[in-house]
Amino acid sequence: MKRRDFIKRVGSLAGAASLSIGGMPLRAFAKPFFNITANLGKILVVVQLKGGNDGHNTVIPIEDSLYYNKRPTLSIPKNDAVKLDNLTGLHPMLQPFKEFYDNGMLSIIQNVGYENPVRSHFRSTDIWLSGSDANEYLSDGWVGRYLANTFPDFPNTSSPQPMAIQIGSVQSLLLESQHGGMGVTIEDPNTFYQLVQGSEADNDPPPATLAGEELRYLKQVAARSLLYADVIKEKADAGKNLIAYPNTGLGNQLSIIAGLINGGLNTPVYLATLKGFDTHANQLSRHETLLSNLATAVAAFQKDLGLAGLEDRVVVLTISEFGRRLRENASDGTDHGTAAPMFLIGKNVAGGIVGDNPDLTKLDRRGDISHTYDFRQIYASILSQHFQTEDAAIQQILPGEFATLPLINNNPNSVGGSEMPKTFALNQNYPNPFNAATLIPYSISRSGNVQLNLYDIKGRMVRRLVDRRHTPGQYTVQLDASELASGIYFYRIVSGEFYEQRRMTLVK
Amino acid sequence: MSVVKSLARIPNWDRPAVRHVLSRTLFGYNREDIDFALNLSMDEFIDNYLLADASPPDSPGDWVLQPPKNTTGQENRANLKELTYWWYELMRAQGFSLREKMTLFWHNHFTSDFSTVKFPQLLYMQNALFRANAFGNLIDLTKAVTIDSAMLIYLDGQTSTARKPNENYARELMELFTMGIGNYTETDIAEAARALTGWQIKGRFPIFEASRFDSGEKTFLGEVGAFNHEDIVDIIFRQDATAEWFCKKLYIGFVYHEPDAGFISELAQLLRESQYELKPVLSALLKSEYFHAEEIRGAKIKSPTDLLISPLRQLSQADPVYLKIRNLSIPLQQELFQPPDVRGWVGQRNWMSTTTYPRRNQFTDVLIDNKVYTKEKIDIVAIAKAYSGSENPSQFISEVVEVMINFQLSESRINFLLQALLDGSAEYDWSTDDPQAESRLRGFFKTLMRLPEYQLS
């Protein structure tokens, strides 16, 4: 290692040494972790399809003869496909998704990829998880950056509940941030709880060496498991699944996640994984099994959330490192390709197909389609419309101006969803009176900057709740008043010439 | 803090140097092993022991000779377990040889997995190939791997034909096995895939079917010709990137997880000068000031295999229950013959999650307390008595730490261990003959092995 690199490392260690356990104070959250509610109770479940899912056989261009010509043995016959519209069908194993589609609970985004696509599993997976350009190397994940942005008190203060949970055993880049791992990796809540029994934290500061840096990492992992084993077990015990899940890997993962959500864990991001999509050979039967596993597990998950009345809060997103080549190979399989469709599923998604079927007349030199949407547009849309992350923050999480697509209806209380309001409105907060947390709905009819501030009875501003550019739509902002005193407060919205004020009562 | 970056030899072959070499090259060592190595010169120990050629071990059974079609799925699964137990035992009982760690290194480099290959006899042959070439010539090894039966199945070579070449092996050959991404184009992959066609498997062995081979002219990495698989490998080894790639993998495997391009270049230069013979490179590496630099000692996180096998030697256990050890290797994320994907195990911090770390602690607890991973409960008192300092708590702790911890423990840690050993009694009262000694010793070893420092090598 170079001297200057080493000095740099030592510098970063010295900074961390003042924190108690490698930057993970164990009981520092005596005061409420203010920002845990910053995501409005919304939850994102990412399902990673590892190996490169074949988009052409997932969302099928049923009228495209080029598709059938290039795939004499692997194509899905038009009559077998689950027809969505005149041009497009789903793989027969995705039959359960048809119901979502008909109910406006499934958005299919066509041809998602990025400039200069990389066909390496590992590099392209890193690109998708980190949200980087093809030639950019990032050591954190886009979700990790979102969480670091949403919970700025971390790592000085730890969230009382995990910021992210990954079902599995190897921590994903998706949840890495500049502060280290933001997530907890568990196989299931009970196993996790039992494993952690008997562990204890230690406060011995690691030495400022390269080996000491690894030791610090180990201590952080240990501290994280200690910190969250109890609450995960408690919420899992409190929660339940209201229907049976298919006994598959993904079915089990999603049933755990639904149980935790049902039990009241307010962790905003979950990661589940389905492996095996690298179908270079014998694709037909393998892909059938994989898509069947995906569809049955996600269908059970949605039904479960629906029965529990939790479906307003959750969206499921599928990601995969690339699609596959249009032309089949000699092994009854397909080689690595480029862009592919993505699924976004949930009660509040806008629904429908975004974009056209891939243009199979315009293939690149390798015989692959080009992308219509950059994958980060989908991420940015989720941040903006689901988590209601402000534009400035999205800029930091996903640098480079990614235009959002209308994927999620962002007011959970609106009926019909996509209808644009005709006037500005500031509605009464609910509940009111309230203890600690309340929601304030408002409508914006013209694009522009919106400010929504909270004032105490003497007219002093006590909180800036909203200050960002809005596009027309219905919005809700949550107020966490756990650090404010009981009493009457006013909230005021200002946008252009529009102005309105209401009052609320905090009773503790 | 001395910061050195060179292949210059270390001046002193002392205890810390010996421990560092042993911890990185073997699966566990004990006090006698340190003394043995220390009594030899560094050259003698590294060149005549660690890097010595040895005859191949006996095979795990006659089943390895069975043609794949003659075995059932159930037999295959059972044989895979036998193969794993056999390999574990080679690791445990290997003596002073780098061979098994290199065999594991190659398994993690030229990956193949059981769930795709399905026939353990083919994985045995691949494993034997890695062992025979553990520190041999890289060009020979790469050529042999390219037409290795397990590999022909794992990366679809056997189904690739001139008419429709399958790119799977060609891509990974360049991306993961020899050069690394950025040193070739997608066209090079397509052209190499053509040159690699024609190979199938008959019985257990690869055979060449000329009718499936694309004998046409190919343009590969700037060269033009009617290349076959050997030509492709030869051309790859004419690229500078290739020596750099192998040395980077060696560096990550044996030195430190963040590559240092400057030092890797020095190693690569040596590898090219040796015509891709590995032995001179490993020899120089293990004797170098760089490898022995203070700041990287203890900076490697043990692999699950290292964690599971090394305490057997540290604690002189000759009767392990490999079935239980293998079972645990799965949740610890290193099931042998089943790497997670073609890249293999990433290692280092990837080994450690909030799930795997507590599991490691549970393993060491159970190993010390119960007969699960060993046929008999470990006789902890006898193990303690074998240390010359067994009756002197402070000396005992420093002797045990020397064998089991590869990290400079702070004074407060040593004190913590002393408290764990004494468990409330006074230092001058300590005796291994005390009726309480057994439970105190078990508590002490469990505490020691639960230290995060125990996870480092």
CATH number of A441's domain:
2.60.40.1930
Structure-model confidence comparison of residues A503 and B36, the more confident one:
B36
The answer to whether residue A408 is domain-embedded is no
What is the total residue count of chain A? 508
| Residue B270: per-residue pLDDT | 97
Q: Is the peptide bond before A433 cis (omega within 30 degrees of 0)?
A: yes
The tens digit of pLDDT for each residue in A257-294 reads: 999 999 999 899 999 999 999 999 999 999 999 999 99
Structure-model confidence comparison of residues A145 and A25, the more confident one:
A145
Please tell me which of the candidates A122, A217, A330 has its beta carbon nearest to residue B163.
A330
**In angstroms, rounded to a whole number, what is the distance separating the alpha carbons of residues B189 and B195?**
10
Contact flag B333-A221 (C-beta cutoff 8 Å): no
Confidence of residue A13 (pLDDT cuts 50, 70, 90): very low
| Residue A421: per-residue pLDDT | 57
Contact flag B365-A209 (C-beta cutoff 8 Å): no
> Is A345 found in the same domain as A268?
yes
A6 touches chain B (CB under 8 A): yes
The tens digit of pLDDT for each residue in A394-424 reads: 999 998 889 899 999 865 443 333 344 567 7
> Is A177 found in the same domain as A313?
yes
**In angstroms, rounded to a whole number, what is the distance separating the alpha carbons of residues A11 and A86?**
62
If phi > 0 it is left, if psi is from -120 to 50 it is alpha, else beta; for residue A400 that is left
Range of the domain at A236: 3-397
Q: Mean pLDDT throughout A323-338?
A: 94
If phi > 0 it is left, if psi is from -120 to 50 it is alpha, else beta; for residue A448 that is left
> Is A443 found in the same domain as A333?
no
A118 touches chain B (CB under 8 A): yes
Contact flag A281-B186 (C-beta cutoff 8 Å): no
Q: Contact, A80 vs B135, CB < 8 A?
A: no
Q: Say if residue A29's pLDDT is above 50.
A: no
Q: Say if residue B350's pLDDT is above 90.
A: yes
Backbone angles phi, psi at A354, to 5 degrees: -100, 120
> In chain B, which residues have their Cβ closer than 8 Å to the Cβ of A222?
357-358, 452
Average pLDDT, chain B: 95
| Residue B3: per-residue pLDDT | 42
The answer to whether residue B274 is domain-embedded is no
Contact flag A121-B357 (C-beta cutoff 8 Å): no
Question: Of all residues in chain B, what percent carry a pLDDT higher than 70?
Answer: 99
Give the number of C-alpha atoms closer than 13 A to the C-alpha of residue A101, restricted to the C-beta side.
20
The answer to whether residue B424 is domain-embedded is yes
**In angstroms, rounded to a whole number, what is the distance separating the alpha carbons of residues B275 and B259?**
23
The tens digit of pLDDT for each residue in B131-162 reads: 999 999 999 999 999 999 999 999 999 999 99
| Residue A415: per-residue pLDDT | 34
Q: If you ran DSSP here, which 8-state letter would residue A164 be given?
A: E
Q: How far is CA B241 from the centre of its chain?
A: 23
A38-47, B64-73, B200-209: which is most confident: B200-209
Please tell me which of the candidates B3, B412, B416 has its beta carbon nearest to residue A6.
B3
| Residue B246: per-residue pLDDT | 98
> Is A189 found in the same domain as A67?
yes
> Is A389 found in the same domain as A326?
yes
| Residue B166: per-residue pLDDT | 93
Min CA distance, A66 vs chain B (Å)?
18
Confidence of residue A476 (pLDDT cuts 50, 70, 90): confident
C-alpha closest to that of A370 among A378, A362, A379, A382: A362
> Is A184 found in the same domain as A222?
yes
> Is A317 found in the same domain as A429?
no
Interface of A with B in 343-382 (CB under 8 A): 365-366
The tens digit of pLDDT for each residue in B248-265 reads: 999 999 999 999 999 999
Least confident of A117-131, B3-17, B353-367, B435-449: B3-17
The answer to whether residue A139 is domain-embedded is yes
Q: Say if residue A170's pLDDT is above 90.
A: no
**In angstroms, rounded to a whole number, what is the distance separating the alpha carbons of residues B457 and B453?**
8
Range of the domain at B425: 304-455
Contact flag B296-A198 (C-beta cutoff 8 Å): no
Q: Say if residue B412's pLDDT is above 80.
A: yes
Please tell me which of the candidates A170, A222, A281 has its beta carbon nearest to residue B452.
A222
Min CA distance, B59 vs chain A (Å)?
32
Give the DSSP per-residue string, B169-210: HHHHIIIIIIS-TTSS-HHHHHHHHHHTTTEEEETTEEEE-G
| Residue A292: per-residue pLDDT | 98
Cβ burial, residue B275 (10 Å; 0-12/13-18/19+):
exposed
Confidence of residue A195 (pLDDT cuts 50, 70, 90): confident
Q: How far is CA A52 from the centre of its chain?
A: 19
Cβ burial, residue B443 (10 Å; 0-12/13-18/19+):
middle
Average pLDDT, chain A: 86
| Residue A23: per-residue pLDDT | 39
Question: Where is the domain boundary, A382, A397, A412?
Answer: A397
The answer to whether residue B230 is domain-embedded is no
Give the three-class secondary structure for B450: helix
Q: Say if residue B1's pLDDT is above 80.
A: no
> Is A453 found in the same domain as A373?
no
Contact flag B167-A335 (C-beta cutoff 8 Å): yes
Write out the H or E segment, with its range, that includes residue B213: none
| Residue A498: per-residue pLDDT | 79
Interface of A with B in 155-194 (CB under 8 A): 168-171, 184-187, 191-192
> In chain A, which residues have their Cβ closer than 8 Å to the Cβ of B155?
280
The answer to whether residue A402 is domain-embedded is no
Contact flag B355-A280 (C-beta cutoff 8 Å): no
| Residue B292: per-residue pLDDT | 95
C-alpha closest to that of A333 among B158, B254, B293: B158
Contact flag B407-A211 (C-beta cutoff 8 Å): yes
| Residue A159: per-residue pLDDT | 82
Q: Say if residue A39's pLDDT is above 70.
A: no
**In angstroms, rounded to a whole number, what is the distance separating the alpha carbons of residues B120 and B78?**
9
Query: Torsion angle of alpha carbons A315, A321, A327, A330, nearest 10°?
Result: -120
Amino acid occupying residue B399: E
| Residue A20: per-residue pLDDT | 37
> Hey, how many other C-beta atoms are within 10 angstroms of the C-beta on A399?
14
Top residue of B168, B353, B356, B364 to mutate, by most chain A CBs within 10 Å, is: B353
- Show the CA angle centred on residue B99, arms to residues B95 and B104, nearest 5°: 120
Computed from CA positions of residues B67, B72, B75, B77, in that sequence, does the dihedral angle turn out positive or negative?
positive
Count of domains observed in chain B: 1
C-alpha closest to that of A320 among A34, A47, A2: A47
> Is A449 found in the same domain as A379?
no
A280 touches chain B (CB under 8 A): yes
Q: Say if residue A24's pLDDT is above 80.
A: no
A222 touches chain B (CB under 8 A): yes
Contact flag A2-B455 (C-beta cutoff 8 Å): no
**In angstroms, rounded to a whole number, what is the distance separating the alpha carbons of residues B267 and B7?**
8
Structure-model confidence comparison of residues A428 and B367, the more confident one:
B367
Count of domains observed in chain A: 2
Q: Say if residue A6's pLDDT is above 70.
A: no
CATH number of the domain bearing residue A132: 3.40.720.10
The answer to whether residue B321 is domain-embedded is yes
Top residue of B354, B357, B446 to mutate, by most chain A CBs within 10 Å, is: B354
| Radius of gyration from C-alpha coordinates of chain B | 24
Contact flag A281-B343 (C-beta cutoff 8 Å): no
Q: Contact, A305 vs A311, CB < 8 A?
A: yes
A2 touches chain B (CB under 8 A): yes
> Is A148 found in the same domain as A27?
yes
The answer to whether residue B341 is domain-embedded is yes
> Is A374 found in the same domain as A440?
no
| Residue A269: per-residue pLDDT | 97
